[in-house]
Structure 1
Amino acid sequence: MATPVYIRLRQSIRVSSGHVIRVRDVAKVAGPSSYKQIIESMAIHNIEEKDKNIVVIDIHPLIELILKRFPHLELEIIGPNQCVVHVDKKLAKKPSLIIVSVIWVLLFIGAAMAIMNFHYDVSMEMVQQKLHFMLTGEKEEHPLWIQVPYSIGLGLGMILFFNHWFRKKFNEEPNPMEVEVFKYQEDLDHYVAINENKVEQDEDR
């Protein structure tokens, strides 16, 4: 009777340039320890300059590699059939403080303009003036007792909504930005796995 070995590919991983990708990097292996250690140490692909920043490891070359060494094993594949490898290139130097500051200022101004244009579109100033008149019976062009707390509350609400204060998180729940980035990364990995399987393309040549 064939010995079963279970393999579950990771959806994506990150490695540094020049890294030798082994089975343990891209997959979880379950089975007899005598086979597991050898399988996990098998080299699959060596990251080179031609790989650029993304490599796709497909399950089929992995199966062939293992069966070539252990033809009597029964492999059970669980989960995805490709693992997307993101190659982190070594940066020559840290980003310039001036460039980071300029980008931060541009983002700050853009966000401020977006908030102000929204308030202008919904006539927020007029709404606050009417609210002041309803509560006090007096007309006031700048009801600061409403506008100031509203402005402070708007900032606090954004902090709570994004669940971040600089690098500090208030709880373990992901914020909306992290969810959107995760969905984008998931779609990107799915696209790359289908259209840019470089390892498999090299083997077909």
Structure 2
Amino acid sequence: MSKTVYLNISQITEVHHKEVQLKDVADVYCDDSAIMNKCNALRIKTIHSDKNKRYIENALDVIKKLIEMDSTLQINNVGEVDYIIDYHKAKKPNWVWQWIKTIFVCIICFCGAAFAIMTFNNDVNVTDVFKEIYRIIMKQESSGFTILEVSYSIGLALGIVGFFNHFAKLKINTDPTPLEVEMRLYEDNVSKTLIQNEGRKESDIDVS
């Protein structure tokens, strides 16, 4: 009697060991828990190189290995057809270096954002606009530091927090932040490009 095994293979998976098992790259489900455990433990790839590298793999190879293990299995893949194993050598985290990189990125982002805001304000001449509005409403000259400048600064900070939907560990709602969306799009595009490039090289039509 055949048993149906469902595979949900992830598009890209980072691993730190050379013996890659099916459970490392896919979620496996079967009514028979013994078969499911056996499938999870199946070795699908052995990495021989010590270099950090991405390997492009195909779900058909996984299905073949499962059939070789047990010819009575009926495999149903509901995940990716082509997937990536991203191998990185196991190493202890260097928290000092991680903090240095984080602080450096924060400084770059802060300075870049500040420069962009100042450039925009100079382009549209916000200072003169505020002075003119203050003179018209208050009937006196602006000192350059009035309720308009204070409100604008506070509103700008609140607007940034609201747009990015994130402040420290707090989130305004459950939606992903714009940065998270862009990072996921970038990761998806990188994965798709790697897979497409691998297919082109195998077909001898690579553009590079």
TM-score of the aligned structures, taking structure 1 as reference length? 0.81
Looking at structure 2, the residues matched to 174 and 118 of structure 1 have their Cα atoms a distance apart, in angstroms, of 27
| Alignment match, 1:193 | 195
Gaps of 5+ in 1: 201-205
**8 Å CA contact 1:129, 1:143 repeated in 2:** no
The one-character-per-residue Cα deviations of 1:26-62 (angstroms, maximum 9, x if unpaired) are 1222223132221111011134435523223310110
| Residue 123 in structure 1 maps to residue 125 in structure 2 | yes
**8 Å CA contact 1:58, 1:83 repeated in 2:** yes
Task: Give the AA of the match of 1:111.
Answer: A
Kindly report which structure 2 residues correspond to 1:144-159, keeping only aligned pairs within 5 A, or say none.
144-159=146-161
Structure-2 change in CA distance of 1:187 and 1:97 (3 Å) = closer
Kindly report which structure 2 residues correspond to 1:1-150, keeping only aligned pairs within 5 A, or say none.
2-16=2-16, 18-33=17-32, 34-50=34-50, 52-89=52-89, 90=91, 93=94, 94-95=96-97, 101-140=103-142, 142=144, 144-150=146-152
Task: Give the AA of the match of 1:78.
Answer: V
Higher-RCO chain (CA-CA 8 Å, sequence separation at least 6) = 1
The one-character-per-residue Cα deviations of 1:101-141 (angstroms, maximum 9, x if unpaired) are 45543332222111100111122112212322332233436
Gaps of 5+ in 2: 203-208
How many residues of Structure 1 are paired with residues of Structure 2 in the alignment? Answer: 197
Task: Give the AA of the match of 1:105.
Answer: I
Shift of 1:97: 5.8
Looking at structure 1, the residues matched to 185 and 48 of structure 2 have their Cα atoms a distance apart, in angstroms, of 28
Looking at structure 2, the residues matched to 99 and 51 of structure 1 have their Cα atoms a distance apart, in angstroms, of 23
Shift of 1:6: 2.1
Share of identical aligned residues, percent? 26
Shift of 1:2: 4.1
